[in-house]
Amino acid sequence: MKLTIVAAWQYAKKNFVFPRNIIFFGLALLLILGFSTAVNLLPLAQPAIAQVTPLSTTIPRFTVTAEFGRDRAGSDYSGFPIEPFASVCQQSCINDNRCSAYTYVRPGVQGASAVCYLKTIAPASTPNSCCVSGVKL
């Protein structure tokens, strides 16, 4: 084996210009030593095994409506100041298991900041430009 490597090195030094043709030296070395010693093709010959495990927990998915210009008064179990985006109130309802509906009140209506009300049941909807309401379906 040592003799083969030395012979390959002497051949490469004599016939190739370095570093431009260093790739050819590597290819010659692969041919001399044998391709199978440099690359292990065994993993390609084996069938792939996919391990699919069942989910240990289920993630509930909810559809929550957004009714612009609608108020659902009553049945509040939680009310809190919130960022001035109705989507934040909607997301709070999605994340809370007790929430069946929500009402987002715009800033300046019940104080300087916006208010989010989470509801245990979905009360009837009435027109009101102050609010955005929604129901978890």
Of 104, 135, 101, the residue nearest 120 (C-alpha): 101
The verdict on pTM exceeding 0.95 is no
> Worst-scoring range by mean pLDDT, 34-43, 73-82, 96-105, 113-122?
34-43
CATH class of 67-135: alpha beta
Q: Where are the domains of the chain?
A: 2-41, 67-135
Q: For residue 126, give every residue at least 6 positions away whose Cβ sits within 8 Å of its Cβ, in sequence order, or none.
A: 70, 71, 72, 73
pLDDT in tens, 34-74: 655 555 555 444 454 545 555 555 666 778 889 999 999 99
Is 12 within 8 Å of 28 (Cβ atoms)?
yes
In SS3 terms, 80-101 reads as EEECCCHHHHHHHHHHCCCCCE
- Higher-confidence position of 136 and 42: 136
pLDDT computed for residue 102 by the predictor:
96
